[in-house]
Amino acid sequence: MPAGTEAAFSMRGNLLRRNLLTALLLAPATLWLVVFLVLPFVAIAIFSVGERAPEGGYQAALTFAQYANLPARATAFWNTMVLAPAGALACLLVAYPVAYYLALRAPQRWRLILLALIVIPFWTSLLMRTYAWMYILGGRGIPALLAYVGIEDLRLINTSGAVLLGIVYGYLPLMILPIYVSLERLDRRLLEASADLGATPVSTFLGVTLRLSLPGVMTGFSLVMILLLGEYLIPTLLGGGKVFFIGNALVDLFLQSRNWPFGSAIAITLVAVSVVVLIVANRISTRLSGARRVDLI
Amino acid sequence: MSKSYRDGLPISPEKFVDQLMRMKRGSISRRDFLGLTGLGVATAVMARELGIMPTPAYAAENLGDRMSIATWPNYHDPATFENFKAETGVAVEVNVFGSNEEMLAKLQAGGSGWSLFVPTNYTISTYKKLGIIEPLDMAKLGNFDGTKEDARFTAEGTIDGTIYAVPKNWGTTGFAVNTKKLAKPMSSWKEFWDTAMAEGDGRTMVHDYQLTTIGNALKYYGYSFNSLKQDELAKAEELLLKVKPHLFAVSSDYQPGMRAGDAWMTMCWTNDGAQLHRDIPEIAYVLGKEGGEIWTDFYAIPKDAPNKPAGYALLNYLMNPKVAVKEHLANGAPSTDARVNALLPKEVLDNPILYPAADLLKPLEFGAAATLTDPGRAELMARFKSA
């Protein structure tokens, strides 16, 4: 056997061994994804072309009637498409100054403590924290205090304001952290250079700081927005079940009217919408970071 | 020499009881700890075989240490479950639901984990049809006495002569009004809906439940509470969509809102009406004179109950009139059981919220089975909620 072939063989052996090792290492994650993501998704896809059984549930069929019926939940889709970006935007407006302060202004020794303070509320479940808001905003909370100073019968709970507050409160850390990370990595010399070249603080912020933190902003924005697309808890608890998200429509279809096929069709559509949102956000964020590279050279 | 049952036991009965009592006081050695698992098994075996432990009637069957019940909001005396645990060692997990549809959905999906649940009269035939519930084994329910039950309220638990569910209590669906905030006297569903759009703007709640919310909107026009007619449902939908922007909430858990003063008026079940009025006298309970719903809630055991022995034990416990009377005093709903009524104080039996005048009861309708599964009503409710 020529020496070359032998070397090729052992190289192939190495490669094979390495591939095997990679496969073994990936096996648990793959298994997890197949069992808990792919299989349920396939089940939902099969349900979505079925029919509602007479007493509710699923009955095998091959029809696209469920998808044709999607306009029946147009209001819920519309509410979600308006409220998810609006909620994410409100979150962004609150989160950016906080992240800016943490990354660029806060004293070094406080930074870790402040970051911890932002993350700690996340250790309690969203349900508990939302219930807490129900009591704070309810008649025995803030309105009761305001009654002492003569403001009677003020209603805060079950308003769109309460839902917005719940959203901002619930998702704030998810917005702060990516922005903080992108601001923290910011090269301070760029800010000095900008000032040296005669830029005002405002134009430095707009032209340098904001531009360079945009990938973080986009990450936070798409993260919050995708979670909001499936949100149903906050509108139920703080909106009194009157503000109807697509998540609420899903809960009702599975738990009240038991129309699993229609619910499945909506779920598939929601996943498709989320994927589109992710792709668009990813495109924008890539283009922005691409622009940054050009600027720097 | 005949073989005694004591041979081969890991520990003598006397020593076992002694050790167990010591542990109960909180003193535990390392050896005790290591032997604990074995001891646990021994407890179960010995308590049954030897009769050396104080044996409650339930020990005839292994009840496990936990079970789960599905029921409605504010519907039980929490002490009942505490006492049941003290007597049997079974901890009861309580799941609260706002509609029969939701209970059915969980049971249809399977794996609900409930060993006992509380369906309303009109749903039982559907549960039976779907094979979700089984005939009750009446031998295990010695505390139930069918002859003492009011036949008006028990009929739907028995299908073709077989008992599938036994009654918990009956009641009505009316509305509760905070008379300090809404002083004008009201007596009809028409006034309820009209007030919701006027003085009660932003302060009115309706159930997150198609049967009552659609049913009582149908009553605005004097149609049947159970109507499935297209044109009548269309009118009800029109009203509901008109009222929607004026509502405080669409939710079946209305006590917190009413108690906090955020809500001034709500669709309401007897038991909640009685509880609210008892604690806050200015909250009145009104039955619409056009009619509305009269109901009986039942206890039933799902076919796939993970702990049937405990389900039966709890059901039998709840059927004991001495226990049931405390439940009724706590939840405020009238009983179907004459033995319980005999134990209730006179002021309860005279309470018009619980026992409305005959002329108010007459126009009320029991929910109809078809409303539970009708896709038209379900979609109407969805359109109302998403509007």
- Asked whether residue A275 is assigned to any structural domain, the reply reads yes
Considering the domain architecture, whether residues A24 and A56 belong to the same structural domain is answered as: no
Per residue in B77-111, pLDDT (tens digit) is 999 999 999 999 999 999 998 889 999 999 988 88
CATH number for the domain harbouring residue A161: 1.10.3720.10
Considering the domain architecture, whether residues A101 and A134 belong to the same structural domain is answered as: yes
Helix (H, G, I), strand (E, B) or coil at B247: strand
> Would the pLDDT of A124 be above 90?
no
Say which residues have a Cβ less than 8 Å from residue A244's Cβ, sequence separation at least 6.
Answer: A75, A76, A79, A235, B385, B386, B387
Considering the domain architecture, whether residues A164 and A282 belong to the same structural domain is answered as: yes
Say which residues have a Cβ less than 8 Å from residue A297's Cβ, sequence separation at least 6.
Answer: none
Judged by a CB distance cut-off of 8 A, whether residue A54 touches chain B is yes
Comparing A139-143, B121-125, B206-210, the range with the smallest average pLDDT is A139-143
DSSP states along B117-160:
E--BGGGHHHHHHTT-B----GGG-TT--GGGB-HHHHGGGEET
Judged by a CB distance cut-off of 8 A, whether residue A248 touches chain B is yes
Q: Residue A295 — pLDDT band, cuts 50, 70, 90?
A: very low
Q: Which residue of A has its CA nearest to B387?
A: A75
* Beta-carbon separation of B105 and A255 below 8 A: yes
Q: Which residue of B has its CA nearest to A141?
A: B260
CA distance A166 to B73: 25
B-chain CB neighbours of A155 within 8 Å are 202-203, 248, 262
Facing B260 at nearest CB: one of A138, A242, A259:
A138
Considering the domain architecture, whether residues A12 and A124 belong to the same structural domain is answered as: no
* Beta-carbon separation of B386 and A56 below 8 A: no
Facing B105 at nearest CB: one of A143, A244, A258:
A258
Query: Among B307, B305, B315, which Cα is nearest to B61's?
Result: B307
Confidence (pLDDT) at B55: 42
Considering the domain architecture, whether residues A150 and A254 belong to the same structural domain is answered as: yes
- The whole-model pTM stands at 0.80
B250–chain A nearest CA distance, Å: 5
> Would the pLDDT of A122 be above 80?
yes
Considering the domain architecture, whether residues A63 and A11 belong to the same structural domain is answered as: no
Judged by a CB distance cut-off of 8 A, whether residue B249 touches chain A is yes
Considering the domain architecture, whether residues A104 and A206 belong to the same structural domain is answered as: yes
A-chain CB neighbours of B264 within 8 Å are none
CA distance B207 to B187: 19
Range of the domain at A76: 49-296
* Beta-carbon separation of B375 and A244 below 8 A: no
- Asked whether residue A91 is assigned to any structural domain, the reply reads yes
Q: Residue B201 — pLDDT band, cuts 50, 70, 90?
A: very high
B-chain CB neighbours of A241 within 8 Å are 208, 249-251, 385
Per residue in A185-212, pLDDT (tens digit) is 888 888 889 888 988 889 988 888 888 8
B-chain CB neighbours of A52 within 8 Å are 375
Considering the domain architecture, whether residues A35 and A110 belong to the same structural domain is answered as: no
Facing B386 at nearest CB: one of A73, A138, A254:
A73
Domain count, chain A: 2
* Residue B306 CB coordination number (10 Å): 16
- Asked whether residue A150 is assigned to any structural domain, the reply reads yes
Average pLDDT over residues B5-24: 56
Judged by a CB distance cut-off of 8 A, whether residue A246 touches chain B is no
* Beta-carbon separation of A248 and B385 below 8 A: yes
B-chain CB neighbours of A240 within 8 Å are 205, 247-251
- Asked whether residue A59 is assigned to any structural domain, the reply reads yes
| CA atoms within a 13 Å half-sphere pointing along the CA-CB vector of A201 | 0
* Beta-carbon separation of B210 and A253 below 8 A: no
Q: Which residue do the tokens 């096996």 mark?
A: A27
Considering the domain architecture, whether residues A33 and A111 belong to the same structural domain is answered as: no
Considering the domain architecture, whether residues A6 and A104 belong to the same structural domain is answered as: no
- Asked whether residue A44 is assigned to any structural domain, the reply reads no
> Would the pLDDT of B135 be above 90?
yes
Confidence (pLDDT) at B99: 87
Per residue in B246-280, pLDDT (tens digit) is 999 999 989 999 999 999 999 999 999 999 999 99
Kindly list the structural domains of chain B, giving each domain's residue range(s) and its CATH number in brackets, ordered by start.
Answer: 13-55 (no CATH), 66-170+296-349 (3.40.190.10), 171-294+351-386 (3.40.190.10)
Average pLDDT over residues A67-87: 89
Considering the domain architecture, whether residues A224 and A95 belong to the same structural domain is answered as: yes
- Asked whether residue A124 is assigned to any structural domain, the reply reads yes
Q: Between A74-100 and A246-255, two packed helices, what is the crossing angle to 10 degrees?
A: 130
> Would the pLDDT of A86 be above 60?
yes
DSSP states along chain A:
--HHHHHHHHHHHHHHHHHHHHHHHHHHHHHHHIIIIIHHHHHHHHHHTSEE-TTSSEE-----HHHHTGGGGHHHHHHHHHHHHHHHHHHHHHHHHHHHIIIIIS-HHHHHHHHHHHHGGGGS-HHHHHHHHHHHHSTTSHHHHHHHTT--S---TTSHHHHHHHHHHHHHHHHHHHHHHHHHT--HHHHHHHHHTT--HHHHIIIIIHHHHHHHHHHHHHHHHHHHHT--HHHHHHSTT-S--HHHHHHHHHHTS--HHHHHHHHHHHHHHHHHHHHHHHHHHHHHHHHHHHHH-
Considering the domain architecture, whether residues A17 and A101 belong to the same structural domain is answered as: no
> Would the pLDDT of B327 be above 70?
yes
Confidence (pLDDT) at A211: 86
- Asked whether residue A242 is assigned to any structural domain, the reply reads yes
Q: Which residue of A has its CA nearest to B181?
A: A153
Residue type, B189: W
Facing A75 at nearest CB: one of B106, B373, B386:
B386
Partner A, chain B 180-209, Cβ-Cβ below 8 Å: 202-203, 205, 208
- Asked whether residue A75 is assigned to any structural domain, the reply reads yes
Q: Which residue do the tokens 């009157």 mark?
A: A242
